[in-house]
């Protein structure tokens, strides 16, 4: 049996005692302009996108290019709830910039 551990808190996820959640995040450049123009030339655009994808360095060492990424994480139930409360990990309270006086 495959054993998972939570990618966030590293806690082992027991297949019978815990709920195992899978988080998938897809990050890709918004290409609305590219797709919106010339609706009839889909083939050309597909080739265009394809060439863009192929030019992207495949798993380049440390390079954070703009090529689409599909990230997958295993989460325990606690971390799932925590993620859903704050998906972008923005520190809470930063927007409440109260003046000390």
Which residues make up the interface to Zn ion (CB under 5 A)? 6, 8-9, 76, 79
Separation between Cα atoms, residue 95 and residue 18, nearest integer Å: 35
Q: Of 67 and 79, which CB lies nearer to Zn ion in the complex structure? A: 79
In angstroms, what is the minimal distance from the CB of 82 to Zn ion?
8
Q: Are 27 and 67 in contact (CB under 8 A)?
A: no
Q: Of 3 and 94, which CB lies nearer to Zn ion in the complex structure? A: 3
The structure tokens listed for 37 are: 């123009």
Q: Of 45 and 82, which CB lies nearer to Zn ion in the complex structure? A: 82
In angstroms, what is the minimal distance from the CB of 9 to Zn ion?
3
Of 2, 31, 23, the C-alpha closest to 77 is 23
């Amino acid at each position: 049996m495959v054993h998972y551990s939570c990618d966030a808190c590293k806690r082992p996820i027991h297949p019978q005692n815990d709920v195992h959640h899978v988080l998938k995040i897809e990050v890709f450049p918004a290409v609305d302009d590219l797709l919106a123009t010339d609706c009839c030339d889909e083939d050309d655009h597909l080739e265009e996108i394809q060439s863009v994808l192929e030019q992207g360095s495949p798993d380049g060492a440390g390079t954070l290019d703009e090529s689409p990424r599909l990230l997958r994480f295993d989460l325990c139930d606690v971390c799932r709830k925590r993620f859903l409360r704050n998906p972008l990990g923005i520190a809470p309270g930063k927007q409440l910039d109260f003046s000390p006086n």
